[in-house]
Structure 1
Amino acid sequence: MCGIVGAIASGDIVHTLVDGLKRLEYRGYDSAGVAVLDQGEIKRVRRIGRVAEMERAVKETGLEGAVGIGHTRWATHGGVTEPNAHPHISGELVAVVHNGIIENHDEERDWLKSLGYVFESQTDTEVIAHLVHHYYKQTGDLFDAVRQAIKRLKGAYAIAVIAADKPDQMICARMGCPLLVGLGEHANYVASDVSALLAATRRVIFLDEGDVVELSREAVKVIDKNGNAADRAVHVSDVSLTSLELGHFSHFMQKEIHEQPKALSDTIDQVIEGGLDPSLFGENALQLLQDIEGVQILACGTSYYAGMVGKYWLESIAGIPTNVEIASEYRYRDVAANTNYLILTLSQSGETLDTMEALKYAISLGHEATLSICNVRESALPRASRMVFYTRAGAEIGVASTKAFTTQLVALFTLCLTLAKLRGRLDAKQESEYLDALRHLPGSVQHALNLEPQIKAWAERFADKSHALFLGRGLHYPIALEGALKLKEISYIHAEAYPAGELKHGPLALVDAEMPVVVIAPNDSLLEKVKSNMQEVRARGGELFVFADLDSHFGEQEGVHVIRTPRHAGVLSPVVHAIPVQLLAYHTALMRGTDVDKPRNLAKSVTVE
């Protein structure tokens, strides 16, 4: 993995490829490359490092062509080296780019070696190139060669293939990884993300699992997994180019942190306009939701922490049993399934492979009520779910999720209230109060953003640290987890989070003057308990950094630093307290000089296991 772009047109497409790869940089990568057809030859440029380095090499070589493919790689098989970078070429005849993981690549590699193929990389992708070459030499039909090759593959893939002697054709296929086709005028395109194509077209086709597609300049032919011609719907993307640009901000993460009041407002508007009606989640939602006996939430990373907050809401307000599980764990264990549970999947991209596979597993166990909360329209998870709630966060470019997280929380709260109403646990007065709290939420978040100068000053004290602890209780323990994740993701400071009551059961042994302890301390029923936990830290010489509410009644003292967020936001307090931990991570990373938007070793869209 991580990003694919391809084009076939009547003129030079190199700029389109490079521009597309630049727009895919947010996904995370460590090398980049392009290959084009030029007078019957495949010409290729690859570089480790940033797309800009590859772009300079492209200009120096004068690369041109009307058919080509490009890729940004996030290393899975083999190190970060130029020979491991995509595209991969077989026999100077076939070039391939690939996202995903081929699980049986070792067996296929041995078989191909027995046929005389020589491997130049450690990647699983080179296996695909040689397989396509093998069948192409046999049949002379590139489309058929790709279909024959993918029959041998086990795992997940999205591929784009060109051949030196086929200047009017590109073949693509997908299984388990996202891939879409862009429709242009006397030109067609392929990409792993619509953002790569916005400068060329907004008309796109989302490929289904198992699709193989042939692109020419004038036509697109799709064959489904059963070998039948398929007519896929054309969608017009509403993603704006402006949303993919920095504007006056220094980093996308900073921009997206500050976009949260609008993202929340846009997501909340659909709830206020429609009221707490099951139709918010789809036409068949009433039928699917009214008889569920519980909720099983499946997610990864930041989305998993959002699900943990959702569990508190669903059980305390809706009175419905809720489990939250990491998707990659759920799919690989024997589940004692209650098929009357709602399966709820959370994903910013809608393409997270672990979550997608967990959903498939749940469906195989007999679950019929499935709901996806997602930020990307027409992505894989919503298409595979019977219900969907789209957050309106807009494009999120920074690898470390911010506005997608807080809008997921709003979606979960909306689901909680809807289920509570269906179950007779929400009267008209309570409904009005909760909706009013949602209306005020963007304003509270803006007030939290206004604390940035104070948080920036705190970041100076974190910048030279190697470790940090985050503490929270109840609804705010997941926010402590999220704060620790953000800090380690982008600043590379080792950070862990614990329920504050667990501090004395082990983690307290780590506390000393060099271990800053961040405490999420809202003015709720657990505040006095949190204060006691804070005293445990101070007694061991630890330094406390406390995010409290405006109406909390305790102040700073030696070794205790306090920043007050707006007045307590009730059950929606986790959304407000997510803002300062995001800002703390961002400014600490800046002071440490790390790559805030593209942290090392990480990818935005995780389409491998």
Structure 2
Amino acid sequence: YKAAAEIGELGDNTRAMRSAVVADDLLRLLVSQHGARVSVLGHTRWASVGIISEPNAHPVNSEELESTFGTPYLVAALNGDVDNHADIKVRNGLRIADPITTDAKVIPTVVARRRASGESLGEAFRNTVREFDGSVAIATASAESASTMLLALRGSGQGLCVGLAEDRFIVASEPYGLVEETLRYVRMDGEALADVNNPATRGQVVVLDGELAGTLEGCSMMAYDGTVIALDEASVTVAEVTTRDIDRGEHKHFLSKEIAEAPQSFRKTLRGKIAERDGRLVASLDESVLPTQIREKLAQHKFARIRVIGQGTAAIAGRSLAQLLRTLVDHSVQVDALPATELSGFQLDLDMSDTLVVAISQSGTTTDTNRTVDLARSRGAAILAIVNRRGSELAAKADGVLYTSDGRDVEMSVASTKAFYSQVAAGALYACAISDVLGSGSNDERHQL
């Protein structure tokens, strides 16, 4: 079931798919059978490779032009980009219909071919995803093993969480997609090395067994090279967010809701983080926001540079933080704001132990920002984050996190409103606190700010 209309009202595509599902008599017959089990793979995917069209909408299947008999039927969905998809298509001689130009198409087609050549489903999947260049999150299902779902995560730009519900697995890119069914989940790590001395172990593959749905026993994890990764209760995270955090309430659209909530979000960002000292207002940030190790390096003037990064609207908010810091900090510390892609692409140093990076992201899952944080951190940089979502990828990567609003004030719209204003407020708090620890600027300036 697919719909990919670009023009229309909010919800048109969803309504079209729901109508198709409801009208499917065969589906109704199948799911009404005693003991029937269902495996569902769905995705809302904007085409970053290929035009926005129904043939390019995810999931995509394994069908090719003039497919050979015996090739199994699979479907797959992708977050991220398979950078070398064109090379894979040529190398494997894939016969793909012209209207299908999405990079995701190589996933089910190559897995199906490997499976037809005799590889097990799990091995065919793992050997396929190992070929891919780029940062990816992948989900695949096969008709020949309907109770199995296969997942892969590599790189820092995407997320995959496996929810453990009472009698089912729920997979989503972040906890917000799980909390209606369960608070317990296993978060996959696309950057983790099963063997620190072997780069081939970076990335993770998970095989979900529907016969053991909802249990850790039904969740098998391995590194990209096949190294088994044991899961236990320590691997399970309990979500800090609930369905209340993503409720549209009385508003017809998320955008109108978020505009109306902007003043409250701004106030929540500042709440509990401003104190009075000697008759002046000061930023009061605790250990989780500005850790002792960073305070000490600031006080000892071991940071020569402060670099504020983000993408899109977050990068604009970063400019305000950088400007405030320049006003409050003397010239012994160089302060600049730039897109995350500019830092990762052109301005990384081999040794960044003298650099404090402040990364800003609404969702905490922005690919370019998270990748840049990984690169800077691996070179010794300290990381502070301004982010709106607790439990997000960026929050896990940072040394200190200043949550906008209360860290669970989700912004669903593409156009940022309340999150942007809150990021500016959070930036002002960091500017005041950092300059205070540095001993730069005046208390009067911080009080006025």
TM-score of the two chains, using structure 1 as the length reference: 0.59
Give runs of aligned pairs for residues 103-182 of structure 1, distance below 5 A.
103-113=83-93, 117-119=95-97, 121-176=100-155, 177-182=158-163
> Which of 26, 42, 53 is 1:70 aligned to?
42
Partner of 2:174: 193
Aligned-partner Cα distance in 2 for 1:58–1:282: 51
**Alpha carbons 2:72, 2:115 under 8 Å: kept:** no
Partner of 1:81: 53
Partner of 1:580: none
Partner of 1:96: 76
Aligned-partner Cα distance in 1 for 2:350–2:295: 22
Aligned-partner Cα distance in 2 for 1:182–1:283: 34
Give runs of aligned pairs for residues 475-514 of structure 1, distance below 5 A.
none
Taking every aligned residue pair, what percent have the same amino acid on both sides? Answer: 29
Aligned-partner Cα distance in 1 for 2:207–2:268: 38
Aligned-partner Cα distance in 1 for 2:138–2:323: 41
Code of the aligned partner of 1:415: Y
| Helix, strand or coil at the partner of 1:250 | coil
Please, what is the CA RMSD of the aligned residues?
2.5
Cα-to-partner distance string for 1:576-600 (whole Å, 9 max, x where unaligned): xxxxxxxxxxxxxxxxxxxxxxxxx
Aligned-partner Cα distance in 2 for 1:313–1:101: 36
**Alpha carbons 2:240, 2:391 under 8 Å: kept:** no
Over 3 Å counting, the alpha-carbon distance change for 1:276 and 1:160 in structure 2 is closer
Partner of 1:413: 428
Q: Displacement, 1:385? A: 2.7
**Alpha carbons 1:276, 1:417 under 8 Å: kept:** no
Partner of 1:505: none
Partner of 1:342: 356
Unaligned runs of 5+ in 2: 6-12, 32-36, 63-70, 191-202, 276-282
Aligned-partner Cα distance in 1 for 2:289–2:52: 45
| Helix, strand or coil at the partner of 1:377 | coil
Aligned-partner Cα distance in 1 for 2:287–2:20: 54
Partner of 1:241: 243
Q: Displacement, 1:117? A: 4.5
Give runs of aligned pairs for residues 128-527 of structure 1, distance below 5 A.
128-176=107-155, 177-209=158-190, 210-216=203-209, 217=213, 218=215, 219-225=218-224, 227-231=227-231, 233-272=235-274, 275-277=284-286, 279-282=288-291, 284-290=293-299, 291-319=302-330, 320-335=333-348, 339=352, 340-364=354-378, 366-391=379-404, 392=406, 394-425=409-440, 430=444, 434=447
Q: Displacement, 1:330? A: 2.5
Aligned-partner Cα distance in 1 for 2:117–2:313: 48
Cα-to-partner distance string for 1:300-338 (whole Å, 9 max, x where unaligned): 111111111101111112334311111222222254677
**Alpha carbons 1:298, 1:355 under 8 Å: kept:** yes
Over 3 Å counting, the alpha-carbon distance change for 1:276 and 1:349 in structure 2 is closer
Partner of 2:2: 46
Code of the aligned partner of 1:224: A
Aligned-partner Cα distance in 2 for 1:133–1:287: 55
Over 3 Å counting, the alpha-carbon distance change for 1:304 and 1:118 in structure 2 is closer
Aligned-partner Cα distance in 1 for 2:2–2:252: 28
Aligned-partner Cα distance in 2 for 1:337–1:254: 45
Code of the aligned partner of 2:86: D
| Helix, strand or coil at the partner of 2:411 | coil
Partner of 1:583: none
Q: Displacement, 1:103? A: 0.8
Q: Displacement, 1:129? A: 0.9
After the TM superposition, list the runs of 4 or more consecutive aligned residues in structure 1 that deviate by more than 6 angstroms.
Answer: none
Partner of 2:68: none
TM-score of the two chains, using structure 2 as the length reference: 0.79
Over 3 Å counting, the alpha-carbon distance change for 1:206 and 1:56 in structure 2 is same
Over 3 Å counting, the alpha-carbon distance change for 1:285 and 1:205 in structure 2 is farther
Aligned-partner Cα distance in 2 for 1:225–1:378: 24
Cα-to-partner distance string for 1:357-407 (whole Å, 9 max, x where unaligned): 22233335x232122221122322222333322222511111111121122
Q: Displacement, 1:174? A: 1.1
Over 3 Å counting, the alpha-carbon distance change for 1:247 and 1:378 in structure 2 is closer
| Helix, strand or coil at the partner of 1:243 | helix
Structure number with greater Rg is 1
Aligned-partner Cα distance in 2 for 1:230–1:287: 38
| Helix, strand or coil at the partner of 2:181 | coil
Q: Displacement, 1:139? A: 4.3
Q: Displacement, 1:102? A: 0.8
Number of equivalences: 387
Aligned-partner Cα distance in 1 for 2:314–2:119: 46
Aligned-partner Cα distance in 2 for 1:69–1:279: 37
**Alpha carbons 1:213, 1:222 under 8 Å: kept:** yes
Cα-to-partner distance string for 1:423-451 (whole Å, 9 max, x where unaligned): 22367x649x73xxxxxxxxxxxxxxxxx
Q: Displacement, 1:149? A: 0.7
Q: Displacement, 1:128? A: 1.0
Over 3 Å counting, the alpha-carbon distance change for 1:288 and 1:171 in structure 2 is farther
Aligned-partner Cα distance in 2 for 1:247–1:278: 35
Cα-to-partner distance string for 1:513-553 (whole Å, 9 max, x where unaligned): xxxxxxxxxxxxxxxxxxxxxxxxxxxxxxxxxxxxxxxxx
Over 3 Å counting, the alpha-carbon distance change for 1:279 and 1:243 in structure 2 is closer
| Helix, strand or coil at the partner of 1:311 | helix
Aligned-partner Cα distance in 2 for 1:419–1:179: 34
Cα-to-partner distance string for 1:103-147 (whole Å, 9 max, x where unaligned): 11111001222xx64446211111111121122233452222221
Q: Displacement, 1:190? A: 0.6
| Helix, strand or coil at the partner of 1:215 | strand
Code of the aligned partner of 2:390: R
Aligned-partner Cα distance in 2 for 1:321–1:334: 14
Q: Displacement, 1:221? A: 2.1
Over 3 Å counting, the alpha-carbon distance change for 1:369 and 1:110 in structure 2 is same
Q: Displacement, 1:245? A: 2.6
